[in-house]
Structure 1
Amino acid sequence: MLLRNTILNLLGFGAPLLVAVGTIPALIGALGVDRFGLLTLVWAVVSYFGLLDLGLGRALTQQLSVELARGREARIAPLTWTALMLMGALGSVAGVLMAMLAPWGVGLLAAVPDPEEAIRATRAMAWAMPFIVLTSGLRGILEARHAFVAINVIRLPMGLFTFLGPLAVVVWAAPRLDLIAWVLTLGRVLGFLAHAWAAARSLPQMGRTIRFEQALVAPLCSAGGWLAVSNVVSPLMGYIDRFVIGATASAAAIAYYATPNELVTKLWIIPGALTTVLFPLFTAELLDHRARTVMLFKNAISGLFAALIPITTVITLFAEPILAHWINPGFAAHSAPVLQIFGAGILINSLAHIPFTLAQSAGAARRTGLLHCAEILPYALLLWVLSDRYGATGAAAAWFIRIAVDTTATFVLCAKTLDMPMAATLPRGFVWMPVSAVAAWAVSLTPWNTLHLGWSVATLLAALAIGRHVYRQHRTAPT
């Protein structure tokens, strides 16, 4: 079940990535670098505001899984509808705030080609906010029912529409951000309706009674509170960089930063596909099978590393030719150093998804929430200083420093959560994981020539050997 559901999630997340590779160059050509930079901000705002559910989506998944396992049928409908009503209210508030703050937010950006168009686009997306937040709750219901087939049947066309919708607008209508925003809003509404239909079929108990139960508000908010802190603060640190670049540099600099960022961070679909399935499994196993949980944790870390290291090594070593072929040589000259930093950093950061998920499954979301709260101000200061001085490359360097610190701290917190020495929770050969990422990045900085190509091939072969070694060492380790 773990393998099947992970593969389904990979298909649902991965197909839109392939479409993005083909559509982003066309969008840059039609909109121009400045307008495309603003479009990436629209995507970022929508993605971030979709997380403003105070952790209720994940709390609903956790509590609904418990109620279903215990057979408490009478509690299912009140729990589900109370959570959905709360999320609908939160989404409505988020939409109103987004519409009201649109002029202020656009005014913070430097060198915006058409501020009024950007404001209209932001207000168009504000209408989607209630549907986006409610969709996360409906998806939580489906995850609690392990209905990953239904989730990905809906996720796939929604992900494709995120990129094909804007492309259709610029091809058949006009290269206008506000029209693109209205099309994306329509897609979010249709996605909400599809999730509502699937949730009603998967959980027929929902139809027995529609009732808001005030007594359930406190348990839901308590369970979701610290989940919300990490779910809000961590993505905020992932999106704030674009706004800081826009304020310190230009909209064009956002594009030079956001394009490789969009490319590389799509690799999060791999740990994301895995952790979505691991979350309820960790929750159940931690109750009675602590040793089996640790083994599952180690398997996830070593398998994830083996899957990602060849991909991230290729991206890091061949950043400039990848961007030159994908976009154009001029764009690659600005973005290649950024992509090299992202390529090395994404491997390190992806590994942090596993201990983060385990900590939340164990009810230790408070620790991860406090960690992210402690990171945000130092990161914002470092980001501002480096992006102001070095532009997009400086912002990428700040991002790399933050995720390196965050990943190390997350593994430490996970060991404390399990009440075990950190060394006991790590796969054998774990030290090679960050070393190989930094080595690939160092080789990528050498001048591009025949010697560089030789070093790159040697580094890639070494990375593959390390990945195979780590995975085999752990598989053959005594349980």
Structure 2
Amino acid sequence: MHLNLKIHYMLIRNTLYNLLGLGLPMLVAIGSMPALIHLLGDERFGMLTLIWAVVSYFGLFDLGLGRALTLQISQLMADKRDADLPSLIYTSLLIMAALGLFAGMLMWLGADWGAAHMAGGVNTGEISGSVKVMAMAMPFIVLTSGLRGILEARGAFGIINMIRLPMGMFTFLGPLAVVLWYKNDLIAVTVALTIGRIVACLAHVYYAIRSLPGMLNDRRYRRELIRGLISSGGWMTVSNVISPLMGYMDRFLIGATISAAAVAYYVTPFEVISKLWIIPGALTAVLFPRFTGELFANGKESPTIFRKALLMLFLVIYPSALFFGIFAQDFLRLWINPEFAEKSYFLLQVFSLGIMINCMAHIPFTLIQGAGKVRVTAMIHLVQFPFFILILWLATSRYGLVGAVGAWLARMLIDAFIMFFQAANVIKMRDVIDQPLRLCGVGILILLSYLPALVGGLLTRTLLYVCCIAVMFAYIWLCIATKNERQYVLGKISSRFGGKHDL
């Protein structure tokens, strides 16, 4: 019981670190973007967002080695093979530095061509110069991925987010400061961003060495380690490329088969609700090295960690997603306008249900990858891709936006089912929940929870929203939570109010 409580505390603490590191920069972005658009102008700001997108895409040149390094380090530590860590780290970082240089060279060589094809109202020399400046940051960006992998394997999430938080804020505040106090110039903005990336990389170097003393003692390039790293990292890259690609295909097909305006009605509600992905992202970054360490040691605590992660995530995601499901029309009316809301509110309702399902699927996905079965998740996405594109095209062509969102929801459901099914090959689901049929009750309650969206009157819907949450939490308390989990919660409540509770 003591170990379970320790796991519970570790998951909550490190997830909160990640939420702060990911969430606060997002708030800064929301606050600073209007000012950046006003000061830079639509054209320059558009170019800046494209440069950000190019950098994000070329960031894939780490070939998944950052996560693969986390996996390999966690495995070695679980096997008590700490002596092999220095050579593994040195080999990995050397490969990643080379990949970063290669990505930077490609960006540099393609800068003039890209600038000529996307200049818009901005000087091509300014765009080309900006891309070339960011190209110099690529080795540091790719290396940072590997160094973060070391810190994640060591469970140093406080340090990771101590670096990530100011870096994420600087990504938006840095350009704003340059434009306000220096000059309205994309090259100057990207110089600031590049300096920020270099500083972040050096900070990761410093703390990685502190968290793993002697990590560079064995500076041998070991070719035999490359195959394992590239294999794991390569399959991770397949998932990292195909999954977002499936996420973007719907908007391209809508633009091609319906209209550009329809894309706005579809994408806007999705962009709002998809921000909930920050929550499972924060949790799974903690879970990945934990699952790897447990599964390659003895695996006894893996079902407990899996269960607690699912419970924690659902208790946060359910009320958050349901809010957008019930109040979709009210939210869009207030945020944009009534005409837009009328055309998009149903899409937001469907997206909220799909995102809720997909957020839960992040946990088995992380378990499978943590077990070293990265090929499995990649193959799942590879098989899904052609079928999803075909169904999406047929549904969108025949039923418009409703067909597109229906195809998207079907993919979320199928993907979640497959992920949980495959997770059952890693751990025994009976150790996660002893009466699986009770989960059907959760599914039924989720569907019933969306019925208040049909009711008129904001106050009535608000009361029904609160009732839905109360009923769901009561069901989880009575039918899903174990005796030990109920004792833990009661003990926390009792101690908070000055009482005593013997666990």
TM over 0.5: yes
1:381 CA displacement: 4.3
Q: Which moved more, 1:285-294 or 1:167-176?
A: 167-176
- 1:102·1:122 contact (CA, 8 Å) conserved in 2? yes
Structure 2 residue identity aligned to 1:10: L
- 1:37·1:254 contact (CA, 8 Å) conserved in 2? no
- 2:63·2:230 contact (CA, 8 Å) conserved in 1? yes
Partner of 2:373: 364
- 1:55·1:225 contact (CA, 8 Å) conserved in 2? yes
Taking the TM superposition and a 5 Å limit, the aligned residue runs for 1:147-296 are 147-168=156-177, 180-239=189-248, 260-287=269-296, 289-290=298-299, 292-296=301-305
Pairing 1:300–2:309 present: yes
- Name the % identity: 48
- 1:348·1:433 contact (CA, 8 Å) conserved in 2? no
Structure 2 residue identity aligned to 1:139: R
Q: Using a 3 Å threshold, how does the CA distance of structure 1 residues 170 and 101 change in structure 2: closer, same or farther?
A: same
Q: Using a 3 Å threshold, how does the CA distance of structure 1 residues 425 and 42 change in structure 2: closer, same or farther?
A: farther
Alignment partner for residue 439 of structure 2, among 423, 430, 433?
430
Distance 1:98 1:388 in 2: 37
Pairing 1:475–2:484 present: no
Structure 2 residue identity aligned to 1:462: C
Q: Using a 3 Å threshold, how does the CA distance of structure 1 residues 179 and 263 change in structure 2: closer, same or farther?
A: farther
Q: Which moved more, 1:398-407 or 1:334-343?
A: 334-343
Structure 1 unpaired stretches of 5+: none
User: Residue 363 of structure 1: SS of its match in structure 2?
Assistant: coil
Taking the TM superposition and a 5 Å limit, the aligned residue runs for 1:70-469 are 70-98=79-107, 116=124, 125-168=134-177, 180-239=189-248, 260-287=269-296, 289-290=298-299, 292-323=301-332, 325-326=334-335, 336=345, 338-383=347-392, 397-418=406-427, 429-435=438-444, 444=453, 446=454, 450-451=456-457, 454-455=460-461, 457-469=463-475
1:358 CA displacement: 0.9
User: Residue 206 of structure 1: SS of its match in structure 2?
Assistant: coil
- 2:78·2:294 contact (CA, 8 Å) conserved in 1? no
> Which whole-Å deviations, capped at 9, do the CAs of 1:284-335 have from their partners, x for residues lacking one?
3334655532232122212211111111111233334445555666776676
Distance 1:83 1:295 in 2: 32
1:357 CA displacement: 1.0
Alignment partner for residue 22 of structure 2, among 13, 24, 39?
13
- 1:313·1:460 contact (CA, 8 Å) conserved in 2? no
Distance 1:24 1:440 in 2: 35
The structure whose Rg is larger is 2
Structure 1 residue identity aligned to 2:472: I
- 1:77·1:210 contact (CA, 8 Å) conserved in 2? yes
- 1:344·1:440 contact (CA, 8 Å) conserved in 2? no
1:222 CA displacement: 2.9
1:402 CA displacement: 2.4
- 2:323·2:465 contact (CA, 8 Å) conserved in 1? no
Structure 1 residue identity aligned to 2:386: L
Q: Using a 3 Å threshold, how does the CA distance of structure 1 residues 133 and 288 change in structure 2: closer, same or farther?
A: closer
Distance 1:159 1:426 in 2: 43
> Which whole-Å deviations, capped at 9, do the CAs of 1:255-287 have from their partners, x for residues lacking one?
665554444333222222222222222223334
Structure 2 residue identity aligned to 1:297: F
- 2:306·2:432 contact (CA, 8 Å) conserved in 1? no
- 1:23·1:163 contact (CA, 8 Å) conserved in 2? yes
- 1:298·1:426 contact (CA, 8 Å) conserved in 2? no
Q: How many residues align?
A: 475
> Which whole-Å deviations, capped at 9, do the CAs of 1:161-194 have from their partners, x for residues lacking one?
2333444456556777666555444432322222
Structure 2 residue identity aligned to 1:402: R
Distance 2:303 2:369 in 1: 15
> What TM-score do you get using the length of structure 1 for normalisation?
0.81
Q: Which moved more, 1:24-33 or 1:460-469?
A: 24-33
Distance 1:37 1:399 in 2: 28
CA RMSD of aligned residues (A): 4.1
